[in-house]
Copies of this chain bind each other. A is one copy, B any other.
Amino acid sequence: MPSRTKAQSEAISREAQVFIDKIPRMPCPNILARFLTGPSTVPKIRSRWAKMEDPIEESVIATQHLEFEHTVIAGVHILIINPPIIKLGMQSKVMLNIHGGGFIAATARDRSALLMAGEYGIKVYSVEYTLSPEARYPVARDQCLAVYKELTASFGAENVFGMCTSAGGQIMLSLLALAQRQKLPMMAGLVLYTPAADLSASGDSPITNAGRDVMHPTIVAAIAKKNYIGKHDTKNPLVSPLFADFEAGFPPSVITTGTRDVLLSGSLRLSWKLRDVSSRVELLVADGMWHAYHWEPEMPEAIRTRKEVYRFLDSLI
């Protein structure tokens, strides 16, 4: 199947078409997966990530006139991202960000967080959790939970919002499942950009979108197992919080995904699950869009998605 037919191209922007054409083909994912779980892979992925992300991040920082502070909360380094103007009604609020990157790569200077701070106008506390394999599950989750406890104690839970992307979604959802068990107060609202809710890769999209997305499910699963999950059962409700027993009072949430996203199914199933425990669940699914398409700074589909996410946050003030 070509990466896009005429009928598929008609439904997406020119920018999205160009992006899709650059998605590398992965003809032998099983062999690649074995290769990419070798000892030298993680440093290579990290340096490739930085090379790809650094210029984009720097461009967003410049365009949005963002400034940084550094602090330590509960022993964990936090990057505070300050926009030049805080949105009316958000002056006393903060956004807790847990970045993506497959548990093994990326930093707190995360595109999703930079765009949120600048475009929306909110102070973002972005957690520099310890990556894998240096720390494995549940270290990052426990670090973020400790930060959550301190942030909600300082600002009041009603003034704390949460956001997360991809792997950060697993950490955030696991954290909230645990926070509910511990009877901690819930945050005021939650943005789930294509969350990795199901590390067991069940459902439709890990099959149907294999080879159509920017990441291949076989390869991602192998890397996550080797470096992050280890011997933990992927059906464990704190490893794959799609299977967690969330309780009533879960924060109002917005979930974004696309039809090419390998995490589509997990995100959709999460939306049904959260409907049972949350007063509000907004679902945004973009046709023809891939994993984490939302963070392309200039792509129309991404801009539209972030606009709806910001509108969702507006409705919570």
Partner-B contacts on A (CB < 8 A): 1, 5, 7-8, 10-11, 200-208, 212, 259-260, 264-265, 268-269, 271-272, 275, 283-288, 304, 308
Contact = CB atoms under 8 A, between A and B. Distances in A.
A16 to B, nearest CB: 11
15 contacts: A7-B201, A7-B203, A7-B207, A10-B200, A10-B203, A11-B203, A204-B288, A205-B287, A208-B208, A208-B212, A259-B268, A264-B287, A272-B304, A275-B308, A285-B285
B259 A208 contact: yes
Contact of A286 (B205, B272, B284, B288): B272
Contacts of A259: 204-205, 208, 264-265, 268
Q: How many copies of the polypeptide does the oligomer hold?
A: 2
6 nearest interchain CB pairs?
A: A11-B203, A10-B202, A265-B287, A204-B288, A204-B259, A268-B287
A308 B265 CA distance: 19
- By DSSP majority rule, is chain A's interface helix, strand, loop, or mixed? mixed
Nearest to A201: B7
Contact of A202 (B1, B7, B208, B260): B7
A8 B286 contact: no
Contact of A203 (B204, B275, B288, B304): B288
Given A208-B259, A272-B304, A285-B285, A203 B8 contact: yes
A150 to B, nearest CB: 36
Contacts of A268: 259, 285-287
A206 B268 CA distance: 20
Contacts of A208: 208, 212, 259
A6 to B, nearest CB: 9
Contacts of A203: 7-8, 10-11, 287-288
B287 A269 contact: yes
